[in-house]
């Protein structure tokens, strides 16, 4: 992604909240402040609560368009450096996702280090909720990998700055179905570009991941007559989905990259388009729900273009989740959320056309369109307004948070 046009708006604030040993920046192998400055992050907060075992990081990338919003991911990272790198990349992607989707939201993300299958407790998530609340609305959290409505409800016990809460509490519930529908529509837009028809009937799709979003996408694609090849690091999940949609199990997850298919749909973790996998791909299209699938964005985005593979930028095609949450903040209506997510078809079409017209990779085309919106709105925000934070659409969207 290119640098933001309003660099003067960005500031860096690294907040270390812990009663553990002070972080030794001089001996760190990860240049934290250089990384924040280069990617123009505004704020990073390290959250530690030894009593509950909470180890979390909240990253706020850009708030030009509005308060940052992005899900909390729970994952057992191999190192603290890997966790920090992930949250920085994810939060940056949320800025672009909101901008390209036409939302009045900035980009933020959070990660909790831990095993989502064994480490969840009410106390841990309530402790996390208090850290979110302490940011006063600069960051609004939601569901991501490893999280469910239950954890959102626990977080909601401590802060109003949370979305994806159960419908019984006035929220939108699990965003996965809307996210998956947006992915499905984006894949169809890519098929239209590649084959002249957006029908997925008879198309062979390699689906990496069998989580909530991947499963919902698989149901849409199977219903239309697609042939699905499914893998997941948890074989039991993959088998269950294969049985449900009549797909074929890929026993070794690493074999998913080299299958002779029409479409590769990465719907697990990021970095899966890299030097090694690019040698294996035999597909025409790469379009899926996972975030940050390009390991080295500019390098591998260009390599996809050179190989003639149509690529749907990840943060665009999986934007149904944040579109769903934005609908929740306005007063949730599921039909409206699905209709808005369906517009991802048109957004992907525009991006692919811009990419072809300018001879640039799809991710750069998408970035350019997103940055143009951020620049335009940023200029407007230079104008004085006595009550800008509660005026117009922005006020109606966030009335729940300014009581």
Are 235 and 130 in a shared domain?
no
Please give the Cα distance from 252 to 255 (Å, whole number): 6
Q: Are residues 163 and 26 in the same domain?
A: yes
Residues for the chain: how many in total?
403
Residues 309 and 186 in one domain: yes
Instruction: Please say whether the beta carbons of 171 and 152 come within 8 A.
Output: yes
Q: Where are the beta strands (DSSP E) in 92-247?
A: 106-113, 139-143, 204-208, 227-231
Judge whether 109 counts as a catalytic residue: yes
The tally of domains found in the chain comes to: 2
| 68-82: pLDDT as tens digits | 999 999 999 999 999
Domain match, 191 and 77 both: no
Q: What is the pLDDT of residue 384?
A: 57
**Does one domain contain both 202 and 247?**
yes
Considering the candidates 21, 29, 55, 109, report the single residue annotated as catalytic: 109
Helix (H) or strand (E) holding 400: none
Co-location of 218 and 270 in the same domain: yes
- 213 and 139: one domain? no
Residue 299's alpha-carbon distances to 296, 305, 364, in angstroms, are 6, 10, 11
Q: Is residue 394 part of a domain?
A: no
Question: Closest by alpha carbon to 285, among 265, 270, 303, 257?
Answer: 265
CA count, 13 A, side-chain hemisphere, 42: 22
Type and span of the H or E element at 363:
helix 362-380
Confirm if 272 and 292 have CB atoms less than 8 A apart: no
Asked if 243 and 183 sit in the same domain, the reply is: yes
**Per-residue pLDDT tens over the stretch 250-302:** 999 999 999 999 999 999 988 999 999 999 999 999 999 998 899 999 999 99
Structural domain contains residue 301: yes
> Is residue 332 situated within a structural domain?
no
Q: Is residue 127 part of a domain?
A: yes
Domain end (from 171, 190, 225) = 171
User: Does a structural domain hold residue 326?
Assistant: no
* Rounded mean pLDDT, 226-251: 97
Distances in Å between the alpha carbon of 258 and those of 42, 261, 272?
A: 40, 9, 12
Distance of CA 56 to the CA centre of its chain: 18
Note down the domain range covering 306: 177-319+347-368
**Looking at the domain assignment, is residue 382 inside a domain?**
no
Confidence of residue 386 (pLDDT cuts 50, 70, 90): low
- 27 and 137 part of one domain: yes
Please, what is the Cα angle at 73 between 29 and 274, to 5 degrees? 60
Instruction: Answer with the one of 148, 171, 194 that is the final residue of a domain.
Output: 171
- Statement to judge: residues 299 and 160 lie in one domain: no
State residue 17's pLDDT score. 37
Say how far apart CA 122 and CA 151 lie, in whole Å: 7
CA atoms within 13 A on the CB side of 379: 6
**Domain shared by 236 and 291, yes or no:** yes
Average of pLDDT values for 119-134? 97
pLDDT band for 25, please (50, 70, 90 cuts): very low
Which of 123, 147, 171 delimits the end of a domain?
171
Q: Which residue has the higher pLDDT, 188 or 104?
A: 188
Spatial CA neighbour of 367 closest among 290, 313, 321: 313
Q: Give the three-state DSSP class for 237.
A: helix
Query: Within this chain, do residues 185 and 166 fall inside the same structural domain, yes or no?
Result: no
CATH of the domain at 257: 3.40.50.720
CATH of the domain at 13: 3.40.50.10860
């Amino acid at each position: 992604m290119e640098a933001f046009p309003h660099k003067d708006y960005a500031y860096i604030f690294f907040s270390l909240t812990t009663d553990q040993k002070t972080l030794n920046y001089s001996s760190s192998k990860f240049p934290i402040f250089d990384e924040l400055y280069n990617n123009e992050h505004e704020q990073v907060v390290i959250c530690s609560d030894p009593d509950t075992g909470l180890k979390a990081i909240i990253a706020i990338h850009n708030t030009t368009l509005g308060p940052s919003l992005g899900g909390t991911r729970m994952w057992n990272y191999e190192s603290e450096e890997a966790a920090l790198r992930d949250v920085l990349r994810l939060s940056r992607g949320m800025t672009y996702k909101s901008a390209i989707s036409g939302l009045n939201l900035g980009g933020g993300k959070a990660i909790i280090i831990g095993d989502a299958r064994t480490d969840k407790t009410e106390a841990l998530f309530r402790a996390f909720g208090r850290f979110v609340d302490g940011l006063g609305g600069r960051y609004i959290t939601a569901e991501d990998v490893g999280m469910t409505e239950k954890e959102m409800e626990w977080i909601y016990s401590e802060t109003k700055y949370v979305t994806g809460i159960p419908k019984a509490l006035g929220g939108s519930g699990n965003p996965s179905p809307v996210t998956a529908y947006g992915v499905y529509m984006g894949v169809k837009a890519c098929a239209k570009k590649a084959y002249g028809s957006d029908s997925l009937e008879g198309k062979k799709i390699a689906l990496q991941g069998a989580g909530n979003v991947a499963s919902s996408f698989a149901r849409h694609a199977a219903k239309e007559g697609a042939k699905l090849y499914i893998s997941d690091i948890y074989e039991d999940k993959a088998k269950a989905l294969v049985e449900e949609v009549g797909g074929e199990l890929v026993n070794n997850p690493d074999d998913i990259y080299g299958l002779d298919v029409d479409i590769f749909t990465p719907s697990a973790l990021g970095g899966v388009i890299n030097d090694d996998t690019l040698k294996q791909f035999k597909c025409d299209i790469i379009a899926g729900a996972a975030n940050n699938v390009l390991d080295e964005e500019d390098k591998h985005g260009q390599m996809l273009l050179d190989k003639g593979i149509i690529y749907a930028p990840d943060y665009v095609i999986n934007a149904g989740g944040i579109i769903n949450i934005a609908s929740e903040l306005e007063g949730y209506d599921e039909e409206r959320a699905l209709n808005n997510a369906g517009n991802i078809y048109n957004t992907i079409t525009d991006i692919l056309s811009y990419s072809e017209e300018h001879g640039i990779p799809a991710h750069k085309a998408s970035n350019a369109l997103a940055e143009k919106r951020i620049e335009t709105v940023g200029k407007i925000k230079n104008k004085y307004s006595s009550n800008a934070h509660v005026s117009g659409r922005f006020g109606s969207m966030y009335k729940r948070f300014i009581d």
